[in-house]
Structure 1
Amino acid sequence: MKIGITCYPTYGGSGVVATELGIELAARGHQVHFITSSQPFRLTGRETNIHFHEVSASTYPLFEYPPYDLALATRMAEVADFYSLDLLHVHYAIPHSVSALLASQMIEAHSIVERRRRLPFITTLHGTDITLVGLDPSYLPITRFGIERSHGVTAISSHLRDRTREAFGIDSEIEVIRNFVNCDLYAPRPQVVSEMRPRFAEPGEHLFVHLSNFRPVKRVLDVVEVFARVAKTLPARLMLIGDGPDRSAAEHLALQHGIQDRIHFLGKQDNVHDLLPLADLMLMPSQMESFGLAALEAMACGVPAIATRVGGVPELIDHGTNGMLFKIGDVAAMAEAAIALLNDPVRLQKMSQAARRTAQENFCTTRIIPLYEAYYQRVLDRNQ
Structure 2
Amino acid sequence: MKIGITCYPTYGGSGAIATELGIELAQRGHEIHFISYAQPFRLPHFMERVYFHEVETTRYPLFEHNNYSLSLAAMMHEVATRAELDLLHVHYAIPHATSAWIAKEMLGDRHPLRIVTTLHGTDITLVGQERSYFDITRFSIQKSDGITAVSDYLKRETVDHFDVAGDSIEVIHNFVDPELYRRGSHPCRKDTFLRPDEMLVMHVSNFRPVKRVQDVVRIFARIHKSVPSKLIFVGDGPERPVATAEAEALGITDRVIFLGKQDSVAELLACADLLLLPSASESFGLVALEAMASGVPVVSSNAGGLPEVVEDGVTGHLGSVGDVEAMAEAGISILKDNQKWVRMSVAAQKIASERFGANVIVPQYERYYERVLADAPAAAPADVPLMAAAGDD
TM range (shorter): over 0.9
The residue type equivalent to 1:180 in the other structure is F
Matches within 5 A, 1:238-317: 238-317=231-310
Query: 1:91 is matched with which residue?
Result: 91
Structure 1 residue 156 and structure 2 residue 146: aligned? no
Query: 2:69 is matched with which residue?
Result: 69
Give the Å deviation of 1:338.
Answer: 0.8
> Could you report, residue by residue, the CA deviation over 1:160-201 in whole angstroms, capped at 9, with x for unpaired residues?
1111001111115100000000001011217612xx121122
Query: 1:354 is matched with which residue?
Result: 347
The residue type equivalent to 2:120 in the other structure is H
Query: 2:175 is matched with which residue?
Result: 180
Instruction: Give the TM-score normalised by the residue count of structure 2.
Output: 0.93
C-alpha separation in 1, matches of 2:98 and 2:144 = 9
Q: What's the secondary structure of 2:42's corresponding residue? A: coil
> Could you report, residue by residue, the CA deviation over 1:270-315 in whole angstroms, capped at 9, with x for unpaired residues?
1111111110110001110011100000000100110000111111
Query: 2:390 is matched with which residue?
Result: none
Of 176, 193, 198, 1:205 maps to 198
Instruction: Give the TM-score normalised by the residue count of structure 1.
Output: 0.96
Question: Which piece of structure 1 moves more, 224-233 or 367-376?
Answer: 224-233
Of 201, 221, 224, 1:231 maps to 224
C-alpha separation in 2, matches of 1:62 and 1:159 = 42
Give the Å deviation of 1:64.
Answer: 2.5
Query: 2:318 is matched with which residue?
Result: 325
> Could you report, residue by residue, the CA deviation over 1:30-59 in whole angstroms, capped at 9, with x for unpaired residues?
111110111111112122221111111123
Give the Å deviation of 1:204.
Answer: 1.0
> Could you report, residue by residue, the CA deviation over 1:111-167 in whole angstroms, capped at 9, with x for unpaired residues?
x5xxx2211010000011101111111111111100111010000011111110011
Number of residues paired by the alignment?
A: 376
Give the Å deviation of 1:61.
Answer: 2.1
C-alpha separation in 1, matches of 2:157 and 2:105 = 29
Query: 2:385 is matched with which residue?
Result: none
Query: What is the root-mean-square deviation in Å for CA atoms of aligned residues?
Result: 1.2
The residue type equivalent to 1:186 in the other structure is Y
Of 118, 127, 130, 1:133 maps to 127
C-alpha separation in 1, matches of 2:195 and 2:50 = 41
Alpha-carbon spacing, 1:191–1:157, altered in 2? closer, same or farther (3 Å): closer
**Highest Rg: 1 or 2?**
2
Percent of residue pairs identical: 54
C-alpha separation in 1, matches of 2:135 and 2:232 = 41
Matches within 5 A, 1:36-55: 36-55=36-55
The residue type equivalent to 2:277 in the other structure is M
C-alpha separation in 1, matches of 2:194 and 2:23 = 33
Give the Å deviation of 1:225.
Answer: 1.1
The residue type equivalent to 2:201 in the other structure is F
Query: 1:119 is matched with which residue?
Result: 113
C-alpha separation in 2, matches of 1:23 and 1:222 = 36
Query: 1:23 is matched with which residue?
Result: 23
Q: What's the secondary structure of 1:192's corresponding residue? A: coil
The residue type equivalent to 1:313 in the other structure is L
C-alpha separation in 2, matches of 1:168 and 1:199 = 49
C-alpha separation in 1, matches of 2:351 and 2:233 = 24
Give the Å deviation of 1:233.
Answer: 2.4
Question: Which piece of structure 1 moves more, 21-30 or 89-98?
Answer: 21-30
The residue type equivalent to 1:383 in the other structure is A
C-alpha separation in 1, matches of 2:14 and 2:343 = 31
C-alpha separation in 2, matches of 1:318 and 1:66 = 43
Matches within 5 A, 1:104-115: 104-108=104-108
The residue type equivalent to 1:188 in the other structure is R
The residue type equivalent to 1:156 in the other structure is V
C-alpha separation in 2, matches of 1:56 and 1:330 = 46
Q: What's the secondary structure of 2:64's corresponding residue? A: coil
Alpha-carbon spacing, 1:287–1:191, altered in 2? closer, same or farther (3 Å): closer
C-alpha separation in 2, matches of 1:3 and 1:201 = 46
Of 132, 136, 146, 1:142 maps to 136
Any unmatched runs of 5+ in structure 1? none
Give the Å deviation of 1:331.
Answer: 1.0
Q: What's the secondary structure of 1:139's corresponding residue? A: helix
Of 161, 170, 179, 2:164 maps to 170
Any unmatched runs of 5+ in structure 2? 378-393
Give the Å deviation of 1:12.
Answer: 1.0
C-alpha separation in 1, matches of 2:104 and 2:193 = 50
The residue type equivalent to 1:75 in the other structure is M
C-alpha separation in 1, matches of 2:112 and 2:185 = 50
